[in-house]
Amino acid sequence: MFMAIDLVSAVTHFANIILLIPLLYIYISNYKKLKSKYTAGLLFFAGFLLLETLMALYFDTTMVMYYSAAAASNAQIVQIVKAVGLAVLLWISLE
């Protein structure tokens, strides 16, 4: 069970990274055109969210032996919710 949570967690982290890269590309393109503070804010937000996701992936893979099953499953729920939010944000940004 715990290994399944690890696998799902890693896949979810990679999905979040894959969702954030096109968002960053879109925000960089928009910032080059618009030069607005709002677009710069979106760019920084997506950049720091990507950094957080990369750090979470690193910590989840290197410190998994210190997690309890309950903590790991709760962290997984947070990552899934983040993936859904990023998917919706990317879908809206692509329209």
User: pLDDT at position 61, please?
Assistant: 81
Q: Helix H segments across the chain?
A: 2-34, 37-62, 69-94
User: pLDDT at position 70, please?
Assistant: 76
Q: Which amino acid is at 52?
A: E
Quote the CA–CA distance of 72 and 27 in Å, as a whole number. 32
SS3 66: helix
Quote the CA–CA distance of 62 and 15 in Å, as a whole number. 19
Which residues, at least 6 apart from 28, have a Cβ–Cβ distance to it below 8 Å?
A: 43
Per-residue pLDDT of the chain (95 residues; tens, 9 = 90+): 456 567 888 899 999 999 999 999 999 999 999 999 999 999 999 999 999 999 999 988 888 777 777 777 888 899 999 999 999 999 999 98
User: pLDDT at position 4, please?
Assistant: 59
pTM of the model: 0.86
